[in-house]
A = this chain, B = another copy of it.
Amino acid sequence: MIRFECDYAEGAHPQILKLLTETNFEQTPGYGTDIYCDKARAMIKDLCDFKGADVHFLTGGTQANMTVIASILRPHQGVLCAETGHIQNHETGAVEATGHKVLPLPGKDGKITAAQIETACLEHRNNAEHEHMVQPGMVYISNPTETGTIYSRNELKTLSAVCRSHSLPLFLDGARLGYGLAAAPNDLTMADIAALCDVFTIGGTKVGALFGEAVVFTNPALQTDFRYMIKQRGGMLAKGRLLGIQFVALLENGLYFDISAHAVELALKIKTAFIKKGYAFLYDSFTNQQFPIIPDRQLEILARKYAYSFWQRIDKQLSAVRFCTSWATKKTDVNALIHDIGEL
């Protein structure tokens, strides 16, 4: 079985294992106060061209999301997000478990617009009984989104402006950030993201690491005492250096971006193969996740050899599915898949 069902089917990029092994017997203080975490922090600040950033490392995406969100909101506030947002659908109510409502906004492509934020804020404020409703307290977006789409620089600038005009911190979940930056239509840089968001994550788990998400706070008002939050939510790794070491390995010589480009290149080849076959797509993705709509009979044939994720039933004969590539995807596997798509 060749697996295209997700981007976390393998271990880590060999450079990471190498650095973990080389440093294994060094003694360091715990909880992220070691030299490797320090080095990774410095590398991230450089990459983002943002000296005042406060950088932390957590083990997973749900953990990062709930810890960041709970650290920002007051009790009566909720977090605006796309109705397809990971925090709304795939975190077993982790945000609600910290006491906060997720406030989903409708959308077709996984994204939200500045106009939606503006409307949500005004509708709340102008409602005579607004004190009986959850107050919008921050905005969560993901880039790339859960549907593989990305925000343009202009879209992010407009979102950022409306958020700032309403004093809403803007949080970008970058669980697959590398794959977004590697997408052909992308015009965002790390420095743009740092300048336009108040806090964002750089995903390691799905982009070459064993595990790990870097949380980057650029807004100084949100930086106070975040380490307490990490500890309280169970995200503080005793051997914190494991996270520092992994991010050092990922960021050295642009490895993170190289392996992201590799995954995206292969995903686009798969996309092209499905297009050639005349299949439509649920979302127009230029990143490492592709969502073709395929007749069930053809899917059965593919399923004999390839693992993919079922996404959504379209009608009695058609299903949307997800094919994912990653830093670890082999060209030979993709070529085999493309060949078999051609044969369908």
User: Does A237 sit within 8 A of B, measured CB to CB?
Assistant: yes
In the complex, what distance in Å separates the CA atom of A89 from the CA atom of B103?
Answer: 11
Q: 9 more A-B contacts (CB under 8 A) besides A11-B25, A91-B132?
A: A8-B30, A75-B97, A76-B225, A91-B231, A92-B131, A93-B134, A131-B227, A206-B238, A211-B238
Could you tell me which residues of chain A, from 95 to 139, have a CB within 8 Å of some CB in chain B? 96-102, 128-129, 131-135
User: Does A142 sit within 8 A of B, measured CB to CB?
Assistant: no
Interface SS of chain A: loop
User: Does A310 sit within 8 A of B, measured CB to CB?
Assistant: yes
User: Does A29 sit within 8 A of B, measured CB to CB?
Assistant: yes
* Residues of B close to A8: CB separation below 8 A: 30, 238-239
What are 8 A-B contacts with C-beta separation under 8 Å? A21-B21, A62-B231, A76-B92, A78-B96, A93-B101, A94-B231, A132-B236, A233-B233
> Chain copies in the assembly?
4
* Residues of B close to A90: CB separation below 8 A: 129, 132-133
* Residues of B close to A241: CB separation below 8 A: 11
User: Does A12 sit within 8 A of B, measured CB to CB?
Assistant: yes
Most B C-beta atoms less than 10 A away, residue of A1, A10, A66, A92: A92
How distant is A102 from chain B, measured CB to nearest CB, in Å?
8
In the complex, what distance in Å separates the CA atom of A44 from the CA atom of B280?
Answer: 48
Could you tell me which residues of chain A, from 35 to 57, have a CB within 8 Å of some CB in chain B? none
- Residue-by-residue, is A62-99 near B (CB-CB < 8 Å gives 1, otherwise 0)? 11001100110011101000000000011111101111
Q: Name A's B-contacting residues (CB within 8 A).
A: 1-3, 5-6, 8-12, 14, 17, 20-21, 23-31, 59-63, 66-67, 70-71, 74-76, 78, 89-94, 96-102, 128-129, 131-135, 205-206, 210-211, 225, 227-229, 231-239, 241-242, 309-310, 328
Most B C-beta atoms less than 10 A away, residue of A61, A62, A232: A232
How distant is A64 from chain B, measured CB to nearest CB, in Å?
8
A96 near B89 with CB under 8 A, answer no
Tell me which of B27, B29, B96, B133 contacts A101 (CB under 8 A): B96
A231 near B11 with CB under 8 A, answer no
* Residues of B close to A11: CB separation below 8 A: 20, 23-26, 239, 241-242
How distant is A176 from chain B, measured CB to nearest CB, in Å?
12
B225 near A239 with CB under 8 A, answer no
